[in-house]
Amino acid sequence: MEENTTAIETKMIPIYVMGKRYMVPEGLTIMKALEYAGYQYIRGCGCRGGICGACGTIYRKPGDYKIYSALACQTAAEPNMVLTQLPFYPANHVPSNYAELTGVPEDIYKLYPELFRCVACNACSKICPMDVPVMDVISLLKQGNIEKAAHEAFDCIQCGLCASRCFAEMPQYHIMQLARRLYGGKIAPKAQHNAEAAKAVREGKFDSMLKELMAMSIDELKTVYTGREIEPETAGDDWKPTETRWLLPEFQR
């Protein structure tokens, strides 16, 4: 039987990086296309999974007046796209002593008074690769509603693209991060089970277990680790491990 050695040809497409034309295989993400073209990521690579926001990219398409935004790690390269990356946007970040903040809107107003320069153009929301309603978040903060603003800004990954398009020159992503921290640490109700777990640690509930582990050899620790009981992926909220002596009392019931 004659062996079929016909190779499957890869379609190549042109992209433009900093004005220079490169031919790259079709189907690659922008990040992989840049690496194929010979660019080495020293800054701006990040997680490669669409989570960290380090690979913010802006680009244009031929014959299209619009500017587009994306994360290079999860967006496919398109023919003739003209692109450049913004791995870090030098937006103003105001340092503060978090312990001295009380969780009131004035905490944000004092640190970022430019918040009130917003002209509601919505350019920040349009460029956000995570579809965060950035303008609405800023509006909520101007109204003093930190809780709702923190929830609306939950998907922000700190890429900074919003600041790059802001007419008011405000660092929306830093402001939204502050709002989330204020809500989580100063406003949201404290989790009772966390307080009880911390109390158990202070009272020495786990001391004997830690001493037992510290006395083990590396091989014994590997055996214990690989043989541990793991919660099944389909487990319900009422699942408990077979060994319950290290659980807090309310979870042993």
* Tens digits of residue pLDDT in 7-52: 568 899 999 998 899 999 999 999 999 999 999 887 778 888 888 8
Within the chain, all domains assigned CATH 3.10.20.30 are found at 12-85
Mean pLDDT for the chain overall: 90
Please calculate the CA angle 45-48-50 and round it to the nearest 5 degrees: 115
Amino acid letter at 52?
C
Fold of 12-85: Ubiquitin-like (UB roll) (3.10.20)
**pTM for the full model?**
0.74
> For the chain, where do the domains classified as CATH 1.10.1060.10 start and end?
98-187
Whole-number pLDDT of residue 4 = 57
Domain 98-187 annotated CATH 1.10.1060.10:
yes
